[in-house]
Structure 1
């Protein structure tokens, strides 16, 4: 039995992320339901998020002469600023998201067997597992954010986040504390939703390449010319559609991915600097470890799935060579020659249209973060 869009819709693989982002007002409301609540939710979340960003910027200006306080502010600022920019980019490409959803119902992505359906399900389950680990890291970080003022005697009465407010904080401590925690939750909530949605879309492209590889290997080139040509044309069309899907995903998320990779260098650097300065037995150190795990998981997953698409697309020509192509009609072999030229280069997912998502990029990010960390530590020691 061949699977159709009615049997398994690829859009269902990211249904949870879609619902969560829609609830926050961060995803296009195509059905136009509960519009007042939708816009109200978006307005409240955006006001709190942008308000927190402004207080951080003012605080950094005030702390510009104190390297220790400045790096602490930068640690939170990088993450929050990245989220705001990713969200802004995400909202600017609402129409592209709709087009991606519609494109995923194209018949070229279906017609596979129930066995091949398992390839997609395994990829999505794997992504769900990583997503849940990432969510746990974010939840632990939020918990530490909220608990530090209560379990750390040195920070008693302090706010979870650095920020300047035009009033007496101690007088309105509970309200200010609550708003800061809410801003952290919104940031983590939106960040994880956008990230996991991106990972799953890339995973779908990777799974489609795996199915294409199987279909190419299973073509019997000894069969009738018309039958072989039909199967080969179907595979070629499938390949073109997958390439188009990767381009659409890259177009919609490229700027956000680039900003995430770039700011991750600053976050890992400043976080490592904070870990060196605080006592190992302190709550601040535990928070820093949790924060570092979450950030590393975030960028590593981007690079891993980008690398996965690159390797699976690079193996298409090899899969074709595994078939009995040499026994095909000379007209078929001419078609194969052209097709092999098209699949010679692997498909690359690029952040900012020039940084390739791969394990090599992950290594470069970690090296850069360590280099800046070493410079920062030297500046602190010399001060």
Structure 2
């Protein structure tokens, strides 16, 4: 029977992470062209955009409405930068987890187990597509919102930010607009796909537990005492490997999940506070950003 490939399920997920500079070919980042691409993409399109928006807080802190709006979006962007840092820092753990899945003990042993695993992985695929739909819609709306509300006539941008040049003159306005659109696409894509890698690890653990349960159910079919002993021993070893895999997964995701929990709560609170101040296009824009955070 052909070996089951766990990585096929997340191959598009991995492709997006490669595009945003978060998935090196080797276990860690090494001196090559990809690390240069990763350095430029993360710093130009994620960190730089975050810095420009954060700096703008110093100029609008007296305007409560503008301040809450900026902090709301900045929270999500700072979280993405932090998540990217920890994601890269723990890349060796993640790559080792991916390699562990290829071990023979983690493989489905028959067609029934393959079907069990496939059902679980299909849930992940559905969730991935379900998240991409609102995220993609939000990105499109954020990209064209200055045209929808007419603010582009006054050189309005999708995001309020400070720049060390005059962004309200051509061609700097067009350059800044394109940079903001690309940046939010990078930020949203990185955020979503890092989160879905976390979900994939949890789904893999569930799938392994299903395989183990099925093996235990089938122990009764072994009438030979020696065969029963060997299969039971394999089940024990499989269980130990699942626990080790889960422990390493926790080491990889603990800081990422903590940051996500804190930022989601803070963003929701700011969105509700913004609702008490104004109920307009700005609030809808914040609601769209909340989709990206969640």
Residue 75 of structure 1 corresponds to which residue in structure 2?
72
> What is the CA-CA distance between 1:63 and the residue it aligns to?
2.2
**2:201 alignment partner, SS class:** helix
Distance 1:222-1:114 versus aligned 2 partners, 3 A rule: closer
Q: Distance in 2 between matches of 1:8 and 1:224?
A: 29
Distance 1:189-1:139 versus aligned 2 partners, 3 A rule: same
> What is the CA-CA distance between 1:140 and the residue it aligns to?
1.6
Q: Distance in 2 between matches of 1:106 and 1:222?
A: 24
> What is the CA-CA distance between 1:103 and the residue it aligns to?
0.9
Tell whether 2:8 aligns with 1:7.
no
Task: Please tell me whether the aligned partners of residues 53 and 81 of structure 1 are also in contact (alpha carbons under 8 angstroms).
Answer: yes
Higher mean C-alpha displacement, 285-294 vs 57-66: 285-294
Task: Please tell me whether the aligned partners of residues 72 and 271 of structure 2 are also in contact (alpha carbons under 8 angstroms).
Answer: yes
How does 1:174-193 map onto structure 2 within 5 Å? 174-193=174-193
Residue 166 of structure 1 corresponds to which residue in structure 2?
164
Structure 1: which 5+ runs fail to align? 299-383
Residue 124 of structure 1 corresponds to which residue in structure 2?
121
Residue 19 of structure 1 corresponds to which residue in structure 2?
15
How does 1:1-383 map onto structure 2 within 5 Å? 6-30=2-26, 37-48=33-44, 49-153=46-150, 156-171=154-169, 172-220=172-220, 223-279=223-279, 282-295=280-293, 298=294
Task: Please tell me whether the aligned partners of residues 275 and 288 of structure 1 are also in contact (alpha carbons under 8 angstroms).
Answer: no
Q: Distance in 2 between matches of 1:201 and 1:109?
A: 13
Task: Please tell me whether the aligned partners of residues 82 and 260 of structure 1 are also in contact (alpha carbons under 8 angstroms).
Answer: yes
Q: Indicate the structure whose relative CO is greater, using CA pairs within 8 Å and at least 6 residues apart.
A: 2
Structure 2: which 5+ runs fail to align? none
Q: Distance in 1 between matches of 2:143 and 2:94?
A: 34
**1:25 alignment partner, SS class:** coil
How many residues matched? Answer: 288
Q: Distance in 2 between matches of 1:285 and 1:230?
A: 62
When normalised by structure 1's length, the TM-score is 0.70
Task: Please tell me whether the aligned partners of residues 21 and 193 of structure 1 are also in contact (alpha carbons under 8 angstroms).
Answer: yes
> Larger radius of gyration, structure 1 or 2?
1
Distance 1:86-1:28 versus aligned 2 partners, 3 A rule: same
Q: Distance in 2 between matches of 1:136 and 1:202?
A: 22
Q: Distance in 2 between matches of 1:269 and 1:77?
A: 14
Task: Please tell me whether the aligned partners of residues 89 and 256 of structure 1 are also in contact (alpha carbons under 8 angstroms).
Answer: yes
Task: Please tell me whether the aligned partners of residues 23 and 41 of structure 1 are also in contact (alpha carbons under 8 angstroms).
Answer: no
